[in-house]
A and B are shown apart, each in its own frame.
Chain A
Amino acid sequence: MRRYGGFGLAFLILAAIGLWGRDAGVPGFVVPLGITALFWIAQATSWNLLSGFSGYFSFGQAAYVGTGAYAVAVLTGRHGVSLVWSVPAGAALSGLLALAIGAVSFRLRSLRGEIFALLTLAVPFILAAVASINRTIDGGQGTTIPLPSVPGWIDGFPQLLFVLDAAVAIGALAVAAAVQHGRLGWGLTAIRDAEDVAEGIGVGTLAYKMWAILLSGLIGGLSGALYALQIGFVTVEGVFGLTIPLLVIVMSVLGGRTHWLGPAIGALLIVTLQDRLAASGYTDWNPIVLGAVLAVLVVVAPDGLYGRMRARPWAVIGALVVPIVAGYYIPYGDLQNWVLAGMLLAALVAVVPARWLPARLLRPPRPEPVPAVDRPAPPEPGPPGETVVECRSVARYYGGVHALEDVSLTVAGGELVGLVGPNGSGKTTLVNLLSGTVRPSRGAIAVAGQDTARLAPHRIAHAGVARTYQIPRPFDSMTVRDNVAMAGMFGRRRLPLAQARAEAGAHLETVSLDRLAGAYPGSLNLHQRQLLEMARAVASEPRVLLLDEAMAGLNPAEIDEAVEVIRRISAAGVTIVLVEHLLRVLNQLATRLVVLDRGRVLADGEPQAVLADPAVVRAYLGRQTRV
């Protein structure tokens, strides 16, 4: 809670400026401009909660604003209900709408980004048309919002609105900060990087996305309800238009989508720029300048300004503050122009190459503190012989293709089972079934006694299944250590981040990646990425580990290293199912071989016996082979 005291303080300062600023000599432009800026900060932050953090780009921000605004318009404007009720009602309705959108879109397993974008684009159009037709809502007429009565100790309505907007905006920022630093934020980041992988390590993706969209909807709707007060007359075009959705995207991308402060920076810059352009009187050039600044800034800082600013905070703060203070004392030009100059200078300082700035002003990014390595307690492997995985007559069909047919299989604790078969025999399908990526068309699967056929993949992960991917899929925006920590954080044991990080160090040691713990996956080679896959899988303390062609693409030396790693993992008591082609690997590791051919189990037993089985040889080398 201490961390959020800063937000409380910020709100108090803004409230003071709003309520008593006029007497204190605060310039007159602060309140009107502030109302606009705070509205956009809230909207951009609301958008970013879902779309920036999780990567699900929404074009429908107008739906929240419109719902909130119309709640106030209908309840207060047409029926005289007090704002104390209608504003929260707007937020609540907007939240419900967000949940509905989420329920429809997020349940679709195969939903792609642009489809979600179109779904969200459609919603404001539908709402706008409904409002236009329905005379109780709008009917094309528009609704006037009567001026609320302002308590005597507040100077006037704009001051009241300023304070309310400040509360919503600061609240939005606090929520975004809390989300980002908490479990939800990490989960959303994992979803953004590789959603099905996240699901596989235990992130409940549906729940997390629903939380994100709910928060986004609540904040957007609350801010939208206050917007109705700001414009005073609510029309369909005014609140459901495309301006709002486009601008929130612009502001968030400009400021930076991965940090909670990014959208606010983008919003402040654009609002101030637009205001100054409007005031300059050079009407003909305003949009051209705005478009040019946008294009240039986005090209120069594609990941957003915030990231750049953070790398050199003192330079940026100096560049911002000096012109503003100067403008306060130098009587030339409006103060707002100096504010804008400060903002642009700060942006410039953020993006210039480092050698253009004096070294004193550059603060190297604080290196991430290396947590102590904490060796986790060895997992209870369960009594050897206890059945860890059981498949009974499992089948999987894709249309007319029988990828798996009548597969029955049990794996006991401590075993290292090799799963082999020619291409197309169904090995990866079986792994997908066991990990929950696909559901069986028929049959039952149980892990550690728990029936998993109907469970969501993240619950199967919590039951104790972990898998690697044939083509490694790390979370690109996180360090190697954090990649592994994610499994600890979202796995069965649901560790807090600090502990998960500490234990990650140990797992990285197991796979000999500990010296690369602070690197990003983009700089790893294939072998290292495969080791990372294994470390991440192991970190969730699984009961059974599914390794899907973990040696693909490695040279012999690397293969030997990988075999050593797998031995170590098996020695720690983890049951392993190894999908492999390489004979010598199987010979070195497997205690048992299961051979699949065209979706059926062909052989199951000791490696020597299985490999000598004529049927198996024929399956691999062709029917005509003479054995």
Chain B
Amino acid sequence: MTIAQAALTGALIGGLYALMATGLSVTWGVLRVINLAHFAMILLGAYLTYQLATSTGLDPILTVLITGPVLFVVGAAVQWAYDRLHVAEFTSLLVSFGLLIIAIQAVTLIWSADFLRMPGDINPYATESWTVGRFVFPVTTVLAFGLALVLVAALHLVLRRTFAGRGMRAIAQDRAVAAAFGVDHQRLSLVLGGVAGASAAAAGMVFALTNALSPTAAYEWFGIVFAVVILGGIGQVVGTFAAGVAVGVVSAVVSAAWSPATAPIVLFSAIVLALVLRPQGLFTLRSVVGAGR
């Protein structure tokens, strides 16, 4: 029973992992940019949610209506900068790392390094849950799961069905040829960067609902998010979602059945095993776009 409940909440929090990872995965897969600044955008999204909710009394969930567009613009701007500066795969890792450091310090300067948490009267969601039968569904993680589903479904449909989406997949495979077919790489990459930014805003909002914020929280997401991105197949949105849920469930079940201390061992060993058995990524149905090594 405990284990079943843990598996459930694990799957739901996997939605948050997927929500964080999808933006990074898509920009990596399509635009060949490893954007560590994505974590900075999640952090900013979280802090902006906190600020808006505490200063204006706006419902924290609704803040995403403001932070989403704002971070859309930020994400697009960052992507534009990468394009102008011809930043390619490994260079992007470093440049975005520089941006991340700057962003974390900026957050520290504006909000201080201390823990910030929205008080209960402003944020009632942190402790709310729905009970169905013997199972409890915490509101915040259900929200994360739902948002992740929406994001993944929307991106999947766009990438498959629309011209813009096919254009993005074409860019991922061969930019020059795609341009010859009339695919405007620059506009598409702006849009994609913006979408990633907006998804970061949503992820940040959910994070702020449940957690006390501190500027160095961004570093704590690295391990899980990279694991989810690569496990799910870079650029594969559905795979990323599935990987997020899998990671969440495995961690939670091991924590409940055995010990939270062993969860990282089991999780990462399972990841190693999965990658050894299926090197193309757990959920890719065919090899990933773009020239591999």
Interface residues in chain A, defined as those with a beta carbon under 8 Å from any beta carbon in chain B: 55-57, 59, 104-105, 108, 110-115, 117-119, 121-123, 125-126, 128-130, 132-133, 195, 242, 246, 249-250, 253-254, 284-288, 290-295, 298-299, 302
Contact = CB atoms under 8 A, between A and B. Distances in A.
Nearest to A54: B293
B182 interface: no
Given A122-B272, A291-B98, A249 B227 contact: no
B132 interface: no
Interface stretch (B143-151, B189-197, B263-271): B263-271
B223 A250 contact: no
Given A110-B280, A117-B230, A250-B94, A132 B223 contact: no
A15 B93 CA distance: 36
A292 B102 contact: yes
Q: Is the interface of A mostly helix, strand, loop or mixed?
A: helix
B254 to A, nearest CB: 11
Interface centre among B90, B106, B231, B261 (most CB of A within 10 A): B90
A295 B98 contact: yes
B285 interface: no
Contacts of A118: 226-227, 230-231, 271, 275
B97 interface: yes
Contacts of A288: 101-102, 105-106
Given A108-B276, A112-B292, A125 B101 contact: no
Interface centre among A114, A123, A132, A286 (most CB of B within 10 A): A114
Contact of A299 (B91, B93, B102, B293): B91
A242 B75 CA distance: 25
Nearest to A287: B105
B101 A287 contact: yes
Given A113-B293, A118-B231, A121-B227, A129 B271 contact: no
Given A126-B268, A299-B95, 11 more contacts: A57-B90, A112-B279, A112-B280, A118-B226, A121-B223, A129-B264, A129-B265, A242-B219, A253-B93, A291-B98, A294-B94
Given A122-B268, A290-B101, A291-B105, A133 B231 contact: no
A292 B262 CA distance: 39
Nearest to A241: B219
Contacts of B85: 299
A104 B95 contact: no
A132 B262 CA distance: 9
B264 to A, nearest CB: 4
B91 A298 contact: yes
Nearest to B93: A249
A294 B95 CA distance: 7
Contacts of A128: 264
B110 to A, nearest CB: 11
Interface of B: 85-88, 90-91, 93-95, 97-102, 104-106, 108-109, 219, 222-223, 226-227, 230-231, 234, 259, 261-265, 268-269, 271-272, 275-276, 279-281, 288, 292-293
Interface centre among A55, A125, A285 (most CB of B within 10 A): A125
A96 B28 CA distance: 33
B53 to A, nearest CB: 26
Contacts of A111: 279
Nearest to B95: A295
19 contacts: A118-B226, A118-B227, A118-B275, A119-B276, A123-B268, A125-B268, A126-B268, A129-B261, A129-B265, A133-B262, A242-B222, A288-B102, A290-B98, A292-B102, A293-B98, A294-B97, A295-B94, A299-B91, A302-B86
Contact of B275 (A115, A291, A299): A115
A25 B226 CA distance: 49
B255 to A, nearest CB: 12
B293 A55 contact: yes
A129 B272 CA distance: 15
A59 B34 CA distance: 14
Nearest to A55: B293
Nearest to B280: A110
Given A119-B272, A129-B262, A195-B293, A287 B104 contact: yes
B75 to A, nearest CB: 17
A216 B128 CA distance: 50
